[in-house]
Amino acid sequence: MTSSPEVQIKINGTDEEVELPIVLQPQEKLVVNIITTPHNLGTFESIIYVLLEQRIFIKTFKAIVTPNKYGLAPIYYLTAQNREEINHPIVVANPSSKSIFVEEFYITNQLFKADFKKLNSKQKNQPNFFIDGNSNRTFVNIMFQPDPEVELDETLIVIKFSNGDFFRVPMYVRHRSNLIETKPTFIDFGLVQKN
């Protein structure tokens, strides 16, 4: 268990659900991988709790979060009107001199769709999954149409590159109803003096 939703734990390197408790035989070991997807730059801290034979072990996990070399960052503050479709490009920078390709890609929320077709004409001759060395490329457009019943939708865009680098990019879209519109949107009457 962890103190932050930005920390995930993989046991023995698999994504499969692991049934707890785990019983280890003598001389058997358990590999626990800690995966962080911090949303902000700077200092990141989380606490990991492990219950072992009626004892709780507490381990503090600290990291300094810096921009990643691929230019991928969380996508915040997108706003969509009801029945409006948004289209957000995911641009990947390849800082190395060798070409890389996207080995794995998926989106965790089914309301968000990947669109590989609406890319600019320069990129039509080459598959989207390859990114030439020392270049930027619009890899995919993320399409989304909000559900009017929900105020905020979120997803993780998961990308794994051929060199083994792995990213989870969070994306948040806030909905704004366009059924009632007021103009001006803000009115300031100043201070009202009490008598």
pLDDT tens, 65-109?
888 899 988 887 678 877 778 889 999 999 999 999 899 899 989
d(CA 151, CA 117): 29
127: Cα separation from own chain's centroid: 24
Q: Which of 167, 119, 175 is nearest to 144 (CA)?
A: 175
pLDDT value of residue 192: 57
Q: Model-level pTM greater than 0.85? A: no
Q: What is the pLDDT of residue 189?
A: 59
CA angle (83 as vertex; 77, 85 as ends), nearest 5: 55
**Residue 132 to residue 95: CA distance in whole angstroms:** 9
Per-residue confidence (pLDDT) for residue 107, from 0 to 100:
92
Which pLDDT belongs to residue 181?
55
List the chain domain ranges.
7-65, 75-176
Residues with pLDDT less than 50, the chain: 121, 123
pLDDT at 94: 93
**Positive/negative CA dihedral, 130, 37, 148, 82:** negative
By CB atoms closer than 10 A (0-12, 13-18, 19+), residue 70 is: buried
- CATH fold of 75-176: Immunoglobulin-like (2.60.40)
